[in-house]
Amino acid sequence: MRMKPKSFGPVFALFDGTDTIRFAFDDPFETTPHPPSQTPVDTLLASLAACIVKSVQMAANQHKAVLNPFMVKVTANKAPDLPGRVEQMQITIVGHLVDDGSLAQKLVKQAKAMCTVSNSLNCTVTIATQAAADA
């Protein structure tokens, strides 16, 4: 049985240089300290976004790098067949993590590898970077 195509998100997790992650749903400028809970999938997307933020922080600490403010945007697509599930999640890190572009790419790769949430998912998870903040 084919399901109607459905997408979820975007959900954002914002890093501002502190240990507090701020979240947003749809509009990255309307933030809250709480993850979105419109649907269980939105909460899952927020968990993935928060995990990537924390993983980037850990990777930066290992390289003794100072992070610039950035946000993580996560979207997802529902599988077109049963059982109902997420088929793919897309992560986009928005902003310049650090001033050194080659180190930034290392941090992204390392963060993706160490993110427990990403590693636990049974779907395709892609990651990309976007320099501009027009998410």
Q: Is the pLDDT reported for residue 118 higher than 70?
A: yes
Summarize pLDDT for 20-52 with one digit per residue, the tens: 999 999 999 999 999 998 899 999 999 999 999
pTM score over 0.85? yes
What integer pLDDT is reported at residue 1 of this predicted model?
67
Q: Which CATH superfamily is domain 7-130 in?
A: K homology (KH) domain (3.30.300.20)
Show me where the domains of the chain are located. Answer: 7-130
What integer pLDDT is reported at residue 131 of this predicted model?
86
The runs of H, that is alpha helices, within the chain are: 40-62, 101-114, 116-120
Strand partners, 72: 13, 93
- Exposure letters 30-69 (e unless 16+ CB within 10 A, then b): ebeeebbeeeebbebbbbbbbbbbbbbbebbeeeebebee
